């Protein structure tokens, strides 16, 4: 499903050069739930952003499904990302002055979907994460776990084939973290969604199919 070949990423500023990813090749199967671990600064977020087409590698190729993404230009990349990928972040990234339902509808605004269908799909996504009773709330009126569930609803509303999650339980206590993990595990099991998750938590990583460990930009396991 996702094929990375000899990926390198160098960050250059006028004074320093950082080799953030140092030759990683990785094949992630359709329906796999993969976690990425490693010490701070080892390149986890960079790798996830490269897989998520948010950041361009300095070298190497990326194939997602049967599409070679290397060399896709901005507009095509944005469309591909919007249709195929869903993103979840540690700090939720919700828009605080939009109600929950409107937040969840956002990814559909770029698609050819009627207002009515958009509402319906967003309501269904919220039902999936158990938040049907919070559609008219604002994010600031919700707990951290509930906010992350809104973010998951937003990530899945467009029915992406792949979900990329950067420390999705990082700001949550273990009970809420486990709830979020259960939702992700169900999405993976029931809908066959491929999930790639960065985590610091061995316990959460242990619930996934496979663990990749990074050190200094290289894969060590």
* Site residues (vs ligand ADP, CB under 6 A): 1, 3, 5, 11, 18, 20, 27, 29-30, 38, 40-46, 61, 63, 65-66
Task: Return the structure tokens found at 43.
Answer: 């390149």
Q: How far is the CB of 8 from ligand ADP (least distance, A)?
A: 12
- Choose between 12 and 73: whose C-beta lies nearer to ligand ADP: 12
Using CA atoms, how far apart are residues 105 and 79, in angstroms rounded to an integer? 16
Instruction: Say whether 41 sits in a helix, a strand or coil.
Output: coil
Q: How far is the CB of 51 from ligand ADP (least distance, A)?
A: 12
- Choose between 144 and 170: whose C-beta lies nearer to ligand ADP: 170
Task: Return the structure tokens found at 54.
Answer: 């948010």
Task: Return the structure tokens found at 149.
Answer: 């569930």
- Choose between 105 and 167: whose C-beta lies nearer to ligand ADP: 167
- Choose between 40 and 190: whose C-beta lies nearer to ligand ADP: 40
Q: How far is the CB of 23 from ligand ADP (least distance, A)?
A: 14
Q: How far is the CB of 44 from ligand ADP (least distance, A)?
A: 3
Handedness of CA 30, 32, 33, 34 (dihedral sign): negative
Using CA atoms, how far apart are residues 116 and 138, in angstroms rounded to an integer? 21
- Choose between 41 and 206: whose C-beta lies nearer to ligand ADP: 41
Using CA atoms, how far apart are residues 200 and 204, in angstroms rounded to an integer? 8
Measured in whole angstroms, how far is the alpha carbon of residue 123 from the centre of its chain? 21
Q: How far is the CB of 65 from ligand ADP (least distance, A)?
A: 6
Contact 128/190 with Cβ under 8 angstroms? no
Q: How far is CA 93 from CA 88, 96, 103, 115, 139, in A?
A: 8, 9, 10, 23, 10
- Choose between 40 and 112: whose C-beta lies nearer to ligand ADP: 40
Q: How far is the CB of 50 from ligand ADP (least distance, A)?
A: 9
């Amino acid at each position: 499903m996702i094929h990375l070949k000899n990926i390198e990423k160098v960050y250059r500023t006028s004074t320093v050069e950082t080799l953030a990813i140092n030759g990683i090749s990785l094949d992630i199967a359709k329906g796999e739930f993969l976690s990425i671990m490693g010490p701070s600064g080892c390149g986890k977020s960079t790798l996830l952003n490269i897989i998520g087409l948010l950041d361009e590698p300095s070298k190497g190729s990326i194939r997602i499904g049967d599409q070679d993404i290397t060399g896709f230009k901005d507009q095509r990349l944005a469309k591909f990302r919007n249709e195929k990928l869903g993103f979840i972040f540690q700090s939720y990234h919700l828009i605080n002055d939009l109600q929950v339902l409107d937040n969840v509808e956002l990814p559909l605004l770029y698609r050819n979907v009627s207002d009515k269908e958009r509402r319906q799909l967003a309501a269904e996504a919220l039902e999936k994460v158990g938040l049907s009773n919070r559609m008219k709330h604002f994010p600031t009126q919700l707990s951290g776990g509930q906010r992350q569930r809104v973010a998951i609803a937003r990530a899945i509303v467009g029915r992406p084939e792949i979900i990329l999650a950067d420390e999705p339980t990082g700001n949550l206590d273990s009970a809420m973290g486990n709830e979020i993990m259960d939702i992700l595990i169900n999405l993976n099991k029931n809908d066959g969604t491929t999930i790639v998750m960065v985590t610091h938590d061995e316990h959460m990583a242990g619930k996934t199919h496979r663990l990749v460990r990074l050190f200094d930009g290289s894969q060590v396991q």
